Amino acid sequence: MRQAIAVMAPDGKILGADEHFFRHFYHLHVNRGLLKKFIYDAEHGRMISYEILKEENEHVYVQATALCNKEGALQAIIVTYQHEPFIDMRLTSSLSSMASEFTFILSSDGEITYVSPSAQHVLKCANEVCNHELFSFVHHEDIPILMEKLHTIYAIKEKETTIECRWRTREGHFIWIYMHAQPLLNEKNEIEHVIVVAKDITKWKCCEEALAKLKNFDSLTDIPNRFYFETYVQHMIQQKKPFALCYIDFDKIKWINDRFSYQAGDFFLQESVRRIQKHLQQEDFFARIGGDEFVIVLHDVNKETIVARMEYLLQSFVEPFRYKKHVIQSGLSIGLTFFPQDGTDLDTLLKQADQALCYAKERGKGYHFYHPQQNRKTMIEQELPLALLNNQFYLCYQPKVSLDNKAIMGVEALMRWTHPTLGAISPLEFISIAEKNGFIFEITTWVLKEACRQVKQWQAHFPTLKLAVNLSPFLLNRKEFVMHVKNILQETQFPPNYLILEITESGLMENIETGKHILTELKQIGIQVAIDDFGTGFSSLAYIRNLPVSLLKIDRSFIRDITDNSKDATIVDTIIHLAKSLDLQVLAEGVERDEQVSLLQKMDCDFAQGFYFSQSLEAEKLLQWLEQHNQSKEALH
């Protein structure tokens, strides 16, 4: 139901009105008798609705309210127009005293000239608000926005605007009100009054604040939660403000929960938070981001100052906690990292702080500053699954040479990892971790696919070139591995009979039953199997003869001193001759000197690889080596 409002002088002159009035009701003839009745009823504080007849027998209903000055004299009449009857005025008066909505009118100078009866209930005030500036009742923090909003009405003649602000009641309390302000214009389009319809939204604001608290604060400890923490730190990073991030973990929390109760654990966390808060400065940011995981953001990044503060913090946990009749002794561990020196994004900083925390816990030290090398193993464990996605892995290839005619037999693919922080990471460091966490399957299939694709290109110029790839013994328990190998060979169009899968002697012995089955399947495809590091395990050639193996690689530890140590020479010579009797080919690893090559040739060793021929090279350099080696070999002939 659309209403129109006009402010009328006692003589019937329109002082101001809203747009709807000028559009629909301005042309109405003012009945002088009715106007007198308006004035009489308004002066006596009554609100009575009347029915008047518009043109074409259209009925219009009006209602009047007095607008008095501070002396109580009638200044104007507020007339409300609508096309439907008003409800019973006795009911209106009753409801107005209970309603959350109320109306007041501002003069052209911003003074309150009228306050509706319902305001007495909502604002807990009477007509004493009249003839006062609106700002005198508004919270000082909300005055700037209120001034800006009113300026858009008075100066720019904005049609309407909305405002939320805090209003002071007679008792001195503040309530939240939502105001919808609209100017009342005269015939010259000048603002004479501004009518404001307001509503008490305190309960809604309380709910809003409660929801905001639930979103941003931890319910148990009443400190910021992870969401608030991440928002805060992201803002700090965007502003490029240096800070120290302290990752805190309380000791024995699981033991406290199990030994006493979860209520005891909650008590411990609450009391721990209170102890920490005693040592915080005003600008510090303290948050709970997990079960017993807390963080402090320090704006003071002076390391000496932070060391002193950490010492005080640790000292505050020396005194035991007392829960009911129980005495609980527990400390805390802290990992620290700096922005931007150590990291420039939140995820990196959290990982670094967590690594420093783990280092502190492992060594029983209360706190520790992040240092890449000291946290190397932890970083490798955490970063390994992401390295493949971030293209941090790459392949090198080491050639294998025939000792008979120095022809190139093939290349061995060797995996390399360059980490953005740790630099080059040896396979000796990360392969065992990959095997432990189950990521070795993804790594091996990636190596196999990349190497097959690369060597397939080289085979266009070197058609007999074979490819060797290391096979982890952990994959001998993965029956689906054979199918993955088949799919890779089909995808890359790599010939199976040019692929050699190498597995260590000790690894094969540990998985002999399932290993024999999988290796047999691989041989049926046409793939060769080689025993790597032979001589370091506990197998025998008699046992290996029952396995689908075609090549033995003698470990470099026997080759190193072969020319100086007669025992090593005897072992190598024995392995070669026994292998030959079993129709197995032999390759010597770690060949570095010319005299080693000469002795191995005399022993009838088939192949060799090592620095004597070439170190492991990246693909582009290895291709150059292959071409140069062939040229030099042709030149000799």
CATH number of the domain bearing residue 331: 3.30.70.270
- Alpha-carbon distance 211 to 158, whole Å? 33
Write the DSSP symbol of residue 497: G
Our CA angle for 330, 334, 338, nearest 5°, is 165
Q: Is residue 188 part of a domain?
A: yes
C-alpha to C-alpha distance for 307 and 364, rounded to whole angstroms: 17
Give this prediction's pTM: 0.50
Q: Which of 479, 529, 473 is nearest to 499 (CA)?
A: 529
CA distance readout (Å), 164 to 35, 134, 201, 351: 37, 13, 9, 43
* Residue 383 belongs to a domain: no
92 occurs within a structural domain: no
Q: Which two three-digit tokens encode residue 401?
A: 């040479």
Show Cβ contacts of residue 358 under 8 Å, excluding neighbours closer than 6 positions: 335, 375, 378
Q: Which of 198, 214, 218 lies closest to 206, judged by CA?
A: 214
Residue 428 placed within a domain: no
The domain boundary residue, chosen from 183, 216, 249? 216
Cα 386 to Cα 420: distance, rounded to the nearest angstrom: 12
Sort 513 into a burial class: Cβ within 10 Å, 0-12 / 13-18 / 19+: exposed
Q: Looking at the domain assignment, is residue 419 inside a domain?
A: no
Q: With CA atoms as reference, report the closest residue to 509 among 478, 545, 538.
A: 538
CA distance 358 to 350: 12
Instruction: Specify the 3-state DSSP secondary structure of 465.
Output: coil
Domain carrying residue 164: 97-216
Count: domains in the chain: 4
Helix (H, G, I), strand (E, B) or coil at 475: helix
* Closest C-alpha to 451, from 468, 428, 435, 464: 468
Domain membership flag for residue 432? no
How many angstroms separate the CA atoms of 208 and 225, rounded?
A: 17
Same domain for 211 and 253?
no
SS3 helix, strand, coil % of the chain, rounded to 5? 40, 25, 30
477 and 580 fall within a common domain? yes
197/249 same-domain check = no
- Partnered with residue 106 across adjacent β-strands are 112, 194
**b vs e for 284-303, b when ≥16 Cβ sit within 10 Å of the residue's Cβ?**
bbbbbbeebbbbbbbeeeee
Burial of 434 per CB tally in 10 Å (0-12, 13-18, 19+): buried
- Residue 42 belongs to a domain with what CATH number? 3.30.450.20
Contacts of 18 (CB under 8 A, 6+ apart): 4, 5, 6, 182, 183, 184, 185, 195
Q: Is 423 helix (H, G, I), strand (E, B) or coil?
A: strand
Q: How far apart are CA 226 and CA 218, in angstroms?
A: 8
- Residues 334, 289, single domain; the answer is yes
Domain boundary among 28, 55, 86: 86
Give domain status of residue 435, yes or no.
Answer: no
CA distance 191 to 184: 6
Q: Give me 322's structure tokens.
A: 């007392």
Question: Looking at residue 601, what is its pLDDT?
Answer: 95
Residue 246 and residue 341 in one domain: yes
Within 98-248, where are the H helices?
Answer: 118-122, 143-154, 202-216, 226-238
Strand partners, 339: 243
> Are 318 and 170 in the same domain?
no
Residues 350 and 255 in one domain: yes
Q: Provide the pLDDT for residue 246.
A: 96
Q: Please report the pLDDT score of residue 307 as a whole number.
A: 93
Tell me: cis bond preceding 340? Omega within 30 of 0 counts.
Answer: yes
Please identify every stretch of the chain with a pLDDT value under 70, giving residue numbers as ranges. Answer: 1-3, 5, 14-35, 38-39, 41-58, 66-76, 85-101, 117-132, 158, 186-187, 207, 210, 212, 373-375, 536-543, 633-637
Do 195 and 236 fall within a single domain?
no
Q: Show the CA angle centred on residue 333, arms to residues 332 and 336, nearest 5°.
A: 135
Looking at residue 92, what is its pLDDT? Answer: 40
Structure tokens at 201: 């939204």
Specify whether 208 is located in the same domain as 347. Answer: no
pLDDT of residue 436: 86
The CATH number given to whatever domain includes residue 516 is 3.20.20.450
Q: How many CA atoms lie within 13 A of 358 on its CB side?
A: 15
Residue 69 and residue 105 in one domain: no
Question: Are both 201 and 319 inside the same structural domain?
Answer: no
Give domain status of residue 303, yes or no. yes
* 327 & 245 share domain: yes
Q: E-assigned strands of 205-348?
A: 243-250, 285-288, 293-298, 321-323, 326-328, 332-339
